[in-house]
Amino acid sequence: MVDWMQQTLVSLCAYAEDLLTLLLHHHLLLMILSTSCTLFAFFLT
């Protein structure tokens, strides 16, 4: 996987998690998103 693509993916996931935390404070959604991002990044590498 290209380096900048991975960096972008990580940045987007972090940004989305921050937004969710700020706007929703919804732990379940946050957990699901984190897991999805982690799995997604893992499978792409």
The DSSP annotation for the chain comes to --HHHHHHHHHHHHHHHHHHHHHT--HHHHHHHHHHHHHHHHHH-
Query: How many residues comprise the chain?
Result: 45
What's the Rg (C-alpha) of the chain?
Answer: 11
Residue range 1-45, pLDDT digits in tens? 688 888 998 898 889 888 877 777 666 777 788 888 888 888 877
Q: Please tell me the predicted confidence (pLDDT) of residue 11.
A: 92
pTM for the whole structure: 0.44
